Structure 1
Amino acid sequence: MKRPIAAAVLAVVLIPAAACTTAESPSPTRSALSAKPTATGTGTGTTVSDLSEDAIGHSPNMKVIANVPPQAPFNGPEAWGTDLAFQGDYAFVGNYEGFTVHDIGDPTHPKAVAQVECPGGQNDVSVSGDLLFLSIDEPRSDDTCASTPADPLSDSEWEGIRIFDIADKTHPKYVSAVRTECGSHTHTIVPGKDAGTLYLYVASPGPIPGSKGCPEPHENISIVEVPMKEPASARVVAKPEILKDRVIDENEDFPSAGCHDITVYPEKGLAAGACFGDGILMDVSDPVKPRLLQLVSDKENFSIWHSATFNDAGTKVVFSDELGGGLAATCGASGEPTKGADAVYEITPGHELVRRGYFKIPRIQTADENCVAHNGSLIPVPGRDIMVQAWYMGGVSVFDFTDSDNPKEIAYFERGPLRRGLQLGGSWSAYYYNGYIYSSDITKGLDVLRVDDPLTDPAKSVRMTELNAQSQHSYGGA
């Protein structure tokens, strides 16, 4: 399915250190959402974003300490911020228009050091060594950064993985692209058996009847092999049919084959996949030949299986349900604590998934707030299972699932609804990295949050050199 790589056109926009705004709420309660915090610019003296429309609430033990607002051209009506990855003193933030590199050496004063214009939804991002990878799940006219939207039934449409060289964080360079079946909604880095090779597990929905790029039945994932020293020669090396025995129910909310998101835990030889109507557990001891261990369904409580997170011991998986696809107000007073929530599954010694408790944020949201479980990561606390998670306009929540049957919220931060009615907004991804929580707000840019709580404080001594939340590594908490 891979076609010759066209000559790449890359638009790199170097920008001055973006203004950092700070904001604090006068009250820790949900009722404080009528408060109007002030914004103070620091650093370059450029105009800061006006946070006055944001009514900010947080628990006493958590608050936002910095915000880098979107800069042109990433401040348009559909220039939505997406996923995050980290390396050293840098955070990489995807956007439907490309990606931004932030210097977070001083988390209280983060600054954008480069923006790369390269349109293509969703532009979910990951990094490894000197390479950065973007997921493109939108038919484009070609694989370059100058491409335009294309007809999915066109013989020439392209979607898949784009690869950049980030050796110089202020000047990322386009390297190559790999076309993958049905594009790439998300991807996951899987280390190879030697340091010179890594693999990308590419997850995408499908099929599209009549499409050559997304043919039926699409029961597979795509595996891209990347030689680290020759990334331009990256290619699809396998398309394992891990879902060939799955039965698609056309009455499902999202009746799609393929997977939405895959999380790997190489040290445990395991991967967990959220595959729209089902959750899966896989053996990935051979990264090119993943083997399905179990497929689970929960038609009563789950709508769209969206993402998965292992605990550090590799004995649990938290699956999230993206009820409404992220565009609905599903955190209202419905009385449905399992809908649009997280489900905690324990993994038996025989590698069977057993469902235990559910977690959903306890605050009732308005009808103008899109809210549902989305992307999160572990907070590395030895001896406990604690996670931070984005909930779109439901904000950022920290919860403890050490007791699998009774997960409990520890801390939270959230803004009020945008003034223009129900629309896409809020936190897309929220991850813990070296003492702070970083949240990619879809319309407001990069937030830096600090949580100060006896349960999470031990994590502050844990240091990482790189973080891709869907590629888990043990921090020694087991």
Structure 2
Amino acid sequence: MKKKILMNTALAGALVFSAGGASVFAHDELGGGAEKGDSLAGVELAVPLLEGSKNTGNLQEVAAVPLKEIREGVKNSTGDVYAHKGYAYLGTHSANGGGGGVRVFDMKDPSNPVEVAAFADIPGTWQEKVIVKTVNTKHFKGDLAAVSVQKLDRFNPNSKGGFVLYDVTNPREPKKLGFWEDASGARGTHELYLTVQGDNVYVLTANCYADYYSHGEKMDVTIVDVSKPSSPETIYEFNPRDYIPEVSDDNYDGYNWTDEEGIKRTAFAHSVKTDGTGKTAFLSYWDLGTIMLDISDAKNPVYLGRTDFANDVQGAAHSMDLAKGGTVLVETREVFGPVREGFESAYGYTMIYDIKDKTNPKLLSTFRTDFTETIPGGATVHDPKVQGNTLYLSHYSGGVRTVDITDPSNPEEIGVYIPSRSNIWGVFVDRNYVLASDMGTGLKVLQKNGSQ
């Protein structure tokens, strides 16, 4: 496909950042960086970056809907996006005091999404991640939503972090069922995943820095049994020191890690996910890579293996998804700071692995965008989603990218969507549409048109 892109040699100098859009770092609170996305307000394009801004490659914007103000005068920004049974669920970020909860959109007409409900809007917190699944246990039957809850101020004694569970069988009238608290002293649950194993329902949590802040008393990753949503029960905590030969108390304090080559790195759990069976867990553990566990017995997981990085590659394993029936792992790495002594000069990019043998993942290829110089601060990749042989990537100011991974060893970009002031946090594929959460402007709905 011939991409319709108008480039201008003066473009980089013509980009105008809005107020507050100064230096942006990876999601690394302890490393002195801002919470990811907080100070990335998108860029105003002084000249068109894309010819025909609403039709790019195989994507066409059919709707752009801002979030309602649920508190007068307060504009919330979006977090991640998820879809289930004809409804879209948007988490919200920490901007303007947080408390934006989860927003529910009726997607009956994708060209006209209608916001019909808000829930989990807890003061003093923000709700970035939401997962919805249909479950059937002896305690609950219906559609269950798990929502991450993080404290804006981790020292506030009146604020609690963790995750909250809601009955969204009727998405227009969500009902709170239960709450699980992260008692580590960290902010709470950053990302999570809701998974079903037969009659058992589990939430896997990524509680960034729980290990570090609690001095090893609590761990970053927990498995919580939510088969009875009103009484969540922690059944397992993952301690990398117990499983990974390269990690011990001597070289790891829950955040700072010195690898086997003597290279100082950062390691904390950022996100979690399972395969479709719910029996294999994937932990995105920053410089420890993507850690794979067999959780067929959720109380007694078995370590399988992990991805690794070359000595000169900043790790920052942020998120993942699976392709090719679970034999291929797509790993996205969030790196806002491309210059670091001793490492390659590069924003975060995507790495694709063969994981047929999970004890020995093999790097097949990498995918990098063309805009690392022309969109400063937005060049890092963020989240991946795979449908069939197509990979969908959110790229902050770099918009949404679609990549053909029919041959995972040779990924090829086939579509680009960059709206003005783009700040795309998450993507989700729903029927013939791609949903994108734009932090500044709300929900974007893109129709998949095929190659043009």
- For the aligned pair, the TM-score class normalised by the smaller chain equals 0.7 to 0.9
Alignment of 1:171-182 (within 5 A): 171-180=173-182, 181=184, 182=186
Task: Tell me the CA shift for residue 370 of structure 1.
Answer: 2.7
Three-state SS of the structure 2 residue aligned to 1:205 is: coil
Structure 2 distance, partners of 1:237, 1:285, is 13
399-408 or 425-434, larger mean C-alpha shift: 399-408
Determine if contact 2:372/2:379 at 8 Å carries over to the other structure: no
In the TM superposition, 1:333-372 aligns within 5 A as 339-349=347-357, 351-366=359-374, 369-372=377-380
1:305-454 alignment runs, 5 A limit? 305-324=317-336, 339-349=347-357, 351-366=359-374, 369-380=377-388, 385-416=389-420, 418=421, 426-453=423-450
Distance 1:362 1:161, change over 3 A: same
Q: What letter corresponds to residue 61 of structure 1 in structure 2?
A: N
Write the deviation string for residues 10-36 of structure 1: whole angstroms up to 9, x where unpaired.
xxxxxxxxxxxxxxxxx94244999xx
Amino acid corresponding to residue 89 of structure 1 in structure 2:
G
> Do structure 1's residue 201 and structure 2's residue 199 form an aligned pair?
no
- Cα distance in 2 for partners of 1:242, 1:303 equals 16
Cα 1:367–1:392 change in 2 (3 A) is: closer
* SS of corresponding position for 2:226: strand
For 2:154 and 2:189, the matched residues in 1 are separated by 16
% of aligned pairs identical? 22
Secondary structure (helix, strand or coil) at the match of 2:189 reads coil
Correspondence 1:302 to 2:314: yes
* Structure 1 counterpart of 2:297, from 270, 273, 286: 286
Corresponding letter in the other structure for 1:304 = A
Give the C-alpha shift of residue 205 in structure 1: 1.7
> Are the equivalent residues in 1 in contact too, given 2:369–2:379 (CA < 8 A)?
no
Query: 2:306·2:358 contact (CA, 8 Å) conserved in 1?
Result: no
Give the Å deviation of 1:315.
Answer: 1.1
Contact 1:243 1:258 in 2 (8 A): no
8 Å CA contact 1:30, 1:363 repeated in 2: no
CA distance in 1, matches of 2:286, 2:235: 24
Letter in 1 for 2:297: D
Pairwise CA RMSD of aligned residues? 3.3
**Residues 306, 359 of structure 2: 8 Å contact kept:** no
SS of 1:231's partner is: coil
The residue aligned with 1:260 is 270
Query: Offset at 1:406?
Result: 2.0
**Residues 56 and 416, structure 2, Cα contact 8 Å, conserved in 1:** yes
| 1:411 CA drift (Å) | 0.6
Report the residue type matching 2:208 in the other structure.
P
CA contact (8 A) 2:203 2:223 kept: yes
Structure 1 pair 186/412, CA: closer, same or farther in 2 (3 Å)?
Answer: same
Tell me how many residue pairs correspond in the alignment: 377
Q: Which moved more, 1:59-68 or 1:88-97?
A: 59-68
CA distance in 2, matches of 1:268, 1:338: 34
TM-score scaled by length of structure 1:
0.70
Aligned match of 1:123 in 120, 125, 128?
128
**1:348–1:73 CA distance, 2 compared to 1 (3 A):** same
Check if 1:80 corresponds to 2:77. yes
Q: Give the conservation status (yes or no) of the 8 Å contact 2:312–2:344.
A: no
Q: Calculate the TM-score normalised by the size of structure 2.
A: 0.74
Look up the SS of the partner of 2:303 in the other structure: strand
1:388 partner SS: strand
The aligned amino acid for 1:432 is V
Amino acid at match of 2:216: E
Contact in 1 for aligned 2:352/2:366 (Cα 8 Å): yes
Distance 1:63 1:216 in 2: 48
- C-alpha distance in 2 between matches for 1:297 and 1:192: 29
Contact 1:317/1:346 (8 A) holds in 2: yes
Q: Counterpart of 1:467?
A: none
Residues 349-393 of structure 1 show CA distances to partners (whole Å, capped at 9, x for unaligned) of: 46421112100122345355433111121123xxxx321110011
Change (3 A) 1:444 1:243: farther
CA drift at 1:75 = 9.6
- CA gap of 1:59–1:184, structure 2 versus 1, over 3 A, is same
For 1:90, the equivalent position in structure 2 comes to 87
- Which runs of 5 or more residues in structure 2 are unaligned? 15-42, 94-99, 135-142
1:166 corresponds in structure 2 to: 168
Instruction: State the 1:219 CA deviation.
Output: 4.8
AA at the equivalent of 1:128: K
Asked whether the equivalents of residues 240 and 289 of structure 1 are also in contact (C-alpha less than 8 Å), the reply is no
Unaligned ranges ≥5, structure 1: 1-26, 35-51, 140-148, 419-424, 456-478
Q: CA deviation at 1:189?
A: 1.4
1:231 aligned to 2:229?
Answer: yes
Confirm or deny: 8 A CA contact 1:275 1:306 kept in the other structure: yes
**Equivalence for 2:58:** 61
Q: Secondary structure at the match of 2:129?
A: strand
Change (3 A) 1:254 1:88: farther
**Which residue type is aligned with residue 275 of structure 1?**
Y
CA 1:232 to 1:186, structure 2 compared with 1: closer, same or farther past 3 Å?
same
